[in-house]
Structure 1
Amino acid sequence: MRQTGDNAPVGLFQSGGLSSLAVGVWLRELPTPARHYIADIGQADPPELDALASSVRRFGDESVVVDLRPSIAAVASDLLRYRARHDGGYWNTTGAARFVLVSGLAPLMRADGCGALAHGCVGGGNDQRRFARYGAHLAPDLPVVEPWTDPRALERFPGRETMLAAVAEHGLSLDPGSGAERSTDASLAGVSHESAELEDLETPVTRLDPRWSEWPEQATAEPETVTVLFREGRVADLDGSGPDPVEWMKRANDLGARHGVWLRDVVERRIIGTVCRGVYEAPGLELLDRAWTRVLQASLDGASRELYDRLSAVLGSAMYEARWLEPAARAAREAMDRLVGEIDGSVTLSVHRGVVRVERMKVAGPVVRQTRFGSGGNRWS
């Protein structure tokens, strides 16, 4: 591990997952002073995050909880506006969280005198590269410590079983979705699931234990309706939520999860060129996308929609590969803003046991809509 100089602490992105907690143990044993930064991005209720921070302080390290829910909600709004998805329709919620973590926490780490930033992401994975790219772009003065590429860390913790034993020994508060054989990565935008069992492509997805959501057949028996209002190409209200993305994402997540609208089970192409299975919950984005797609279809002419879809693919790759701040992604967002920035409309959805149906809609846009029977039935107008 590179020295930070003058015994400056390492700023550790602390999720409460097994890997990042084990990194905290490893840094303490080196010994290297660490300050744990716990971002509230909607992954858990505040008391759970406070319990994590308290366990870190009892362990003997400094910790701080930082509310980044507005930031992750704003990025979720971008994912929807640009339909920035990856293979199989995955909503890029993990890549979005890495962007929010580095952009939100690196300035605090610098202000607190940290000499480097560290994370618990596995060696050779997507997230290792995401932290490296965003770190180089947003905090080039802070070296990125990657423990699971350090032989000393791998010798200390050759597997997740030894990590789990150390975390339990020190009484650190472990996220309930993390263990020796499984892990989850959650935010207000959605949840990713990984496990030894799910890595086997023959394992049925029904073996998954969702973090938030119901399976459709177990969902509430009564359908619900919800109206989504769009102004200038963004969600402005969801049944009285108002325009705050934190509020409408929470409502959309609750509704989608309650009715079993959430699942993406994909075999995705990864940054390094391999493929792996990914299972994801994004109930809010899945629900809202039904409304937004309908508005797009009624608002954009054919050439504009074709361009929108091409640029959407560019931004899906950019978020997945941590290139969201690079020139191609910025140019794609600017072009898409021109396409959708004047779209207003509302869509009422019926939601029931995994099915989202458009009940009615209104839209104001530049596309001329034709009718036949409104013109006598014998001609288009």
Structure 2
Amino acid sequence: MGGLSSLAVGIWLHELSAPTKHYVADIGQSDRAELDALVSSLRAFGAEVVLVDLRSSMAAVASDLLRYRARHDGGYWNTTGAARFVLVNELAPLMREDGCRVLAHGCVGGGNDQRRFARYSAQVAPELTVLEPWTDPRALERFPDRAAMTEAVVRHGLRLDPGSGTERSTDANLAGASHESAELEDLDTPVTRLDPRWSRWPEQAPAEPETVTITFRDGRVVDVDGSGPDPVDWMARANEVGARQGVWLRDVVERRIIGTVCRGIYEAPGLELLERAWTRILQACLDAAGRELYDRLGAALGAAMYEGRWLEPAARAARDGVDRLLDEVGGSVTLSVHRGIARVERVKVAGGVVQQTRFGSGGNRWSRVATV
């Protein structure tokens, strides 16, 4: 997708005269012009390239992240883990059809993504051998650090993702972006040292608030301010509003798959905005026992997405349980969004919900059924 380590892998394999085919996936990380420039630079380099539009698949998984509240440490959205699932689930079958026998990726050795690619590949396309270049001493000798990678990428004229370079890395898709750098890994570094990919800081947002209405049906978003039900469209609209109004940031210390902890900074303007509305719908529609179960299953699904276990039986069973809870959950929420804050303005709930209205009647009328 244009990341530094992935391009370095391509250069290394080219230098070894290994026959390769490069798959560039559009998962909403950049506009089409940027991806076309990447493809052109790879072809000029002599690579065989296939550009695959996976935005619909990425948006569908983003919808699942919200529906199942599949978040990780500190409540951040599993957008990077979700992207790895989409890439393997969609590209591995295509690679198999194209006659490929090896799946090579650019993920660093020993990291979360190495395990995600391994687990999903074993489940989706077990006949493909997974090549992990950064566990190979020859690759490490050729590229001992990011400076060496950058030099080679620049020398060969390859188009580098705008968020990736020697000093920093941004892994982005339609659902959000993760930011890394040596500076940001230091817990003493203020988060304001970050350069967001899409979003404004709250103090940079417009002076006036804006309202946005989000509609849910059967536990899924079906419209964001007239976007229509296509997840690509409503995700783009939510991202636009959240980014403009500074609703996007999670700065966390996360517990990683390999047992270490590491600071992570996550930019997910659309999901952060939608979560405010989804929380109100859940509060209004689920009873206490249902909400407790939903939260437990959501935590399990957050861990499953983070660890690359989304296709395993436990995760499937957890999704089945949430699906039953959300069978008839729906309604609309209007938010007032301003400088990092999304405040609920109005709510309409679908279906029969017992809502207490005793206060104004002196306790004589205890409830009514709230409907749209």
TM-score under structure 2 length normalisation: 0.97
1:136-147 map, 5 Å: 136-147=122-133
Equivalent residue in structure 1 for 2:200, among 211, 214, 232: 214
Unaligned runs of 5+ in 1: 1-14
Does the residue aligned with 1:197 lie in a helix, a strand or coil?
A: helix
Equivalent residue in structure 1 for 2:183, among 192, 197, 200: 197
1:33-182 map, 5 Å: 33-182=19-168
Q: What amino acid does structure 2 have at the position aligned with 1:177?
A: G
* Residue 212 (structure 2) pairs with residue 231 (structure 1): no
Q: Is the 8 A contact 1:232 1:341 kept in 2?
A: yes
1:260-271 map, 5 Å: 260-271=246-257
Map of 2:230 onto structure 1: 244
C-alpha displacement of 1:378: 5.3
Q: Is the 8 A contact 1:301 1:367 kept in 2?
A: no
Equivalent residue in structure 1 for 2:258, among 272, 277, 299: 272
Q: Is the 8 A contact 1:300 1:366 kept in 2?
A: no
CA-to-aligned-CA distance 1:156-197 (integer Å, 9 cap, x gap): 000111111111111000011111111000000000000010
Unaligned runs of 5+ in 2: 368-372
**In structure 1, how many angstroms separate the alpha carbons of the residues matched to 2:33 and 2:203?**
31
Does the residue aligned with 2:354 lie in a helix, a strand or coil?
A: coil
Does the residue aligned with 1:91 lie in a helix, a strand or coil?
A: coil
**In structure 2, how many angstroms separate the alpha carbons of the residues matched to 1:248 and 1:345?**
16
* Residue 15 (structure 2) pairs with residue 29 (structure 1): yes
Identical positions, percent: 79
C-alpha displacement of 1:373: 4.0
**In structure 2, how many angstroms separate the alpha carbons of the residues matched to 1:226 and 1:65?**
34
Q: Is the 8 A contact 1:119 1:147 kept in 2?
A: yes
**In structure 1, how many angstroms separate the alpha carbons of the residues matched to 2:60 and 2:183?**
33
Q: What amino acid does structure 1 have at the position aligned with 2:77?
A: W
Map of 2:286 onto structure 1: 300
C-alpha displacement of 1:377: 5.5
**In structure 2, how many angstroms separate the alpha carbons of the residues matched to 1:367 and 1:150?**
59
CA-to-aligned-CA distance 1:351-381 (integer Å, 9 cap, x gap): 0000100001010244411101454565533
**Greater mean deviation of Cα atoms: 369-378 or 341-350:** 369-378
C-alpha displacement of 1:113: 1.1
**In structure 1, how many angstroms separate the alpha carbons of the residues matched to 2:263 and 2:170?**
14
Does the residue aligned with 1:192 lie in a helix, a strand or coil?
A: strand
* Residue 298 (structure 2) pairs with residue 309 (structure 1): no
Map of 1:370 onto structure 2: 356
CA-to-aligned-CA distance 1:136-160 (integer Å, 9 cap, x gap): 1101000000000000000000011
CA-to-aligned-CA distance 1:35-83 (integer Å, 9 cap, x gap): 1101000000001101100100000010111000000000000000011
**Greater mean deviation of Cα atoms: 360-369 or 65-74:** 360-369
Q: What amino acid does structure 2 have at the position aligned with 1:179?
A: G
Map of 1:342 onto structure 2: 328
**In structure 2, how many angstroms separate the alpha carbons of the residues matched to 1:93 and 1:238?**
20
Map of 2:173 onto structure 1: 187
**In structure 2, how many angstroms separate the alpha carbons of the residues matched to 1:379 and 1:298?**
19
Does the residue aligned with 2:184 lie in a helix, a strand or coil?
A: coil
**In structure 2, how many angstroms separate the alpha carbons of the residues matched to 1:150 and 1:279?**
29
Q: What amino acid does structure 2 have at the position aligned with 1:96?
A: A
C-alpha displacement of 1:90: 1.2
C-alpha displacement of 1:341: 1.9
Q: What amino acid does structure 1 have at the position aligned with 2:111?
A: G
Does the residue aligned with 1:323 lie in a helix, a strand or coil?
A: coil
**Greater mean deviation of Cα atoms: 110-119 or 326-335:** 110-119
C-alpha displacement of 1:330: 0.1
Map of 1:4 onto structure 2: none
Closer/same/farther in 2, CA of residues 366 and 327 from structure 1, 3 Å limit: farther
Q: What amino acid does structure 2 have at the position aligned with 1:313?
A: A
Q: What amino acid does structure 1 have at the position aligned with 2:251?
A: D
**In structure 2, how many angstroms separate the alpha carbons of the residues matched to 1:103 and 1:85?**
20
Map of 2:277 onto structure 1: 291
**In structure 1, how many angstroms separate the alpha carbons of the residues matched to 2:288 and 2:359?**
23
* Residue 320 (structure 2) pairs with residue 351 (structure 1): no
- Tell me the C-alpha RMSD between the 2 structures: 1.0
Does the residue aligned with 2:192 lie in a helix, a strand or coil?
A: helix
Q: What amino acid does structure 2 have at the position aligned with 1:214?
A: R
Map of 1:282 onto structure 2: 268
